Amino acid sequence: MEQSSLTFRYKELERAWDGEKVYEVFIGPQHPASGHMRFIVRLDGDIIVNVEPDIGYVHRTMEKLAETKEYIKSIPLFERATIIDSNNITLGYVRALEKLLGIEVPPRARYLRTLLSEINRIASHLYGLGLAGIFINHSTMFMWGFGDREIWLQLAEELTGARLTHTYSIPGGVRSDLPQDFKDRALKAIRYMERRLKDYMKIFFNNPVTVARYKDIGILKKEDAKRLGIVGPNLRASGVRYDARLVEDYGAYREIDFEVPVREEGDALSRLLLRIDEIKISMDIIRQVLEKIPDGPILAEKYLRLIPPKLRKTMEETGRVKFPGLFASLRPPPGEATARVEMGHGEVFYHIISDGSPKPYRVRIVTPSFRNLLLLRYLPVGHRFMDFPAIYGSVDYFPPEADR
């Protein structure tokens, strides 16, 4: 098999790595930008010859914990893996569970899920872009990204009642209906964000320092991206048109007209710019969802019937779902189910094995950050030491998500 350039360069430099010449630097686990994660970076002069990502500082045994809980209780648990993108990460679990239970989701609920997913995606990208700013000490991008994220958190709060831990998607539907005036506020947020994106371009993306730091740094070639199993914006920035929203039929994505942005360069700057493109697309999806959203129930008929009539009436009045008693002990038939969902960071994959008891036999989560972690091992090699934070910033790696 022909070796691609990335791994070849990696091997070549690793051969040059003999104990005496190399200077070891430990980055993290307490670090202004890296978060809960350590890198052992080996330098030959100023050139990185080897990076060892040392993960697991925020491992919370989520998969094992899920085996000890009833199905429904794992939703708030998994949400903590990627707190900044909580609807997207739980949606995969809920979908796999629905497959096991054999439930159809009503159309309005599908649209609402899509709505929150896209709000989450924008917030997640803004978080990533803010960090990409502070990794080259651009504090304005950092503050702007985190500040403007607030708008989307407030929208999510209006929709779900919580800023981050929404627990919005539940088996068979969603937990609450669209509030009044939500459309106006969402459109206002979109208009604001469109204006802000132009400011971002001015101060950050067209800034000569940013371009010098991010352009042509950490180039990920198309073949390498495919072979290493990279997902999400990092993959699409290398010219591969792959998105779980396209390949899986979930939410309302089949009924919505949207384009998945792809860039060819594969360098750090294109990875960042792709996130800007995705924010634009997400805002377009939100607009379409608000236009097209059908009327109807937000919980599957099967579960609605189980709710006492009195509660069902308050449910209709308040637009908030009261859980049927059955939810406490959902018993899917024995079997397996998988589901994929596109998160802000990439594709999350769930595999649930049920043995017919109220608790799952096994839940396997493959999170996008865990798959993208490989990039931090391969991309910085051969670059200068100061490129390491830039590459880290461009990959948008989220340690709690990878560690689970």
Partner 1 sequence: MMVLEIIEYIIRLILSPPIFAPIIYPGLVTVLVILLSIIWVERKIAAKVQLRYGPLYVSKPIGGALQMLADATRFFFQEIIVPRDADSIAFLIAPAASLVLPLLPIVFVPAAPSFVAISVEYSLPLVLAISALTPIVIIVMAWAANNKFTIIGGIREAFMVIAYELSLFISALAMAIFYGTLNLEDIVSMQKSLPGVILNPLAAITFFVAMVMATSRLPFDIVEGEQEIVAGPFTEYTGILYGLVMGAGYVQLYILCLVFVELFLSGWYPYIGLLGEIYPALGGVSLFIKAYLLMVFIVFLRSVYGRYRLDQAISIGWKSLLPLSLASVFLSLGLLAAGVVI
Which of residues 251 and 389 has its CB atom nearest to partner 1 in the complex? 389
Contacts of 246 (CB under 8 A, 6+ apart): 253, 260
Residue 66 amino acid letter: A
Least distance CB 212 / partner 1 (angstroms): 6
**Signed CA dihedral, 22, 27, 29, 30: sign only:** positive
Closest separation in Å from C-beta 23 to partner 1: 7
Residue among 78 and 388 whose Cβ is closer to partner 1: 388
Contact 156, 119 (CB under 8 A): yes
C-alpha 320/C-alpha 249 separation (Å) is 26
Distance CA 306, CA 302 (A): 7
Instruction: Write the single-letter amino acid at 394.
Output: S
Closest distance of CB 132 from partner 1, Å: 10
Q: What is the distance between the alpha carbons of residues 183 and 185, in angstroms, rounded to a whole number? A: 5
Provide, rounded to whole angstroms, the least separation between the CB of residue 10 and partner 1.
Answer: 20
Task: Tell me whether residue 30 or residue 180 sits nearer to partner 1 (CB atom).
Answer: 30
Interacting residues toward partner 1 by CB under 8 A: 23-27, 31-34, 46, 133-141, 143-144, 147, 203-204, 207, 209-210, 212-213, 384-389
Nearer to partner 1 by C-beta: 45 or 333? 45
Write down the least CB distance from residue 31 to partner 1, Å. Answer: 8
Of the pair 8, 26, the CB lying nearest partner 1 is at: 26
Could you tell me if 176 and 161 are in contact, meaning their C-beta atoms sit under 8 angstroms apart? Answer: yes
Q: Which is nearer to partner 1, 247 or 386 (CB)?
A: 386
- Residue for token pair 């309005």: 108
Alpha-carbon gap, residue 124 to 310, rounded angstroms: 39
Residue with Cβ nearer partner 1 (40 or 326)? 40
Q: From the CB of 130, what's the least distance to partner 1, in Å? A: 11
The secondary structure of residue 248, as a DSSP letter, is S
For residue 264, what are the contacts with CB-CB under 8 A and spacing of at least 6? Answer: 238, 239, 270
Least separation in angstroms between residue 107's CB and partner 1 is 39
